[in-house]
């Protein structure tokens, strides 16, 4: 059970990357007051929590309705996570997130609001993007018993609280880590995610062979 929770925490932490979201949050909320930033942070986290809760609770049902086996989703999800890992290792993911943030800022200059920024791009897709949703469905399908499944909900809550903390302390985190430290951490986490994604694919292929 402990191995499962460690794997779940590592997968979700690397996929969502709360520390890496901090500079994105600063860029998106540039020029806002501290109170507005706090509102954006809280609303974005709650919105992402609602989205992830849906897939945490009904992910297996969605697969069943679509006629997709867990093994097939493990392979597909593993490949998707591997692509994210490659982007992290070579620095492409941060560039893509930065482009999303810039587009949101340009859009906000014309018709955006605090609530809109909290929902897009923070809640979707920066926190609860396709990779995160895939990881949650994969992890929930691997829970061996109800207690472990409930524990996964706790892991998701911890990661979301880490996102909220990173948003609220974004300016301090950016000054503390610096560009070099952020690059090193992102690449190390990318290697870890690559290994985990390969394991997902291997488990899915093995399940196909056995059935």
pLDDT along the chain (211 residues), means of 10: 91 88 79 86 96 91 82 81 80 65 55 70 83 88 92 97 94 76 75 81 86 72
Cα 192 to the chain's mean position, in Å?
A: 15
pLDDT at residue 191, rounded to an integer: 84
Q: Write the CB contacts of 17 (distance below 8 Å, at least 6 apart in sequence).
A: 88, 186, 189
pLDDT for the residue 185: 72
Tell which residue, 200, 51, 73, 188, has the closest CA to residue 126. Answer: 51
Which string of DSSP letters, residue by residue, matches 90-146?
TTHHHHHHHHHHHHHHHHHHHH--HHHHIIIIIIIIIIS-HHHHHHHHHHHHH--SH
- pLDDT for the residue 104: 57
99 phi and psi, to 5 degrees? -65, -40
pLDDT confidence of residue 154: 97
- Amino acid 47: pLDDT: 96
Q: Which residue has the tokens 């591997």?
A: 82
């Amino acid at each position: 059970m402990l191995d499962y929770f460690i794997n779940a925490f590592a997968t979700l932490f690397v996929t969502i990357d709360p520390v890496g979201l901090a500079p994105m949050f600063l860029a998106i909320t540039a020029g806002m007051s501290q109170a507005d930033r706090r509102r954006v942070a809280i609303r974005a986290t709650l919105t992402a929590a609602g989205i992830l809760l849906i897939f945490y609770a009904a992910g297996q049902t969605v697969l069943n309705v679509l006629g997709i086996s867990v093994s097939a989703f493990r392979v597909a999800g593993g490949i998707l996570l591997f692509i994210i890992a490659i982007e992290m290792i070579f620095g492409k993911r941060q560039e893509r997130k930065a482009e999303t943030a810039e587009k949101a800022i340009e859009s906000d200059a014309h018709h955006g609001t605090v609530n809109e920024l909290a929902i897009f791009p923070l809640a979707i897709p920066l926190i609860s993007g396709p990779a995160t949703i895939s990881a949650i469905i994969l992890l929930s399908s691997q829970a061996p018993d109800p207690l472990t499944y409930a524990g996964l909900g706790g892991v998701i809550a911890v990661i979301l609280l880490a996102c909220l903390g990173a948003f609220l302390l974004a300016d301090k985190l950016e000054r503390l880590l610096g560009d070099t430290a952020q690059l090193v951490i992102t690449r190390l986490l990318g290697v870890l995610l690559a290994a985990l994604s390969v394991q997902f694919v291997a488990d899915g292929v093995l399940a196909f062979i056995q059935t």
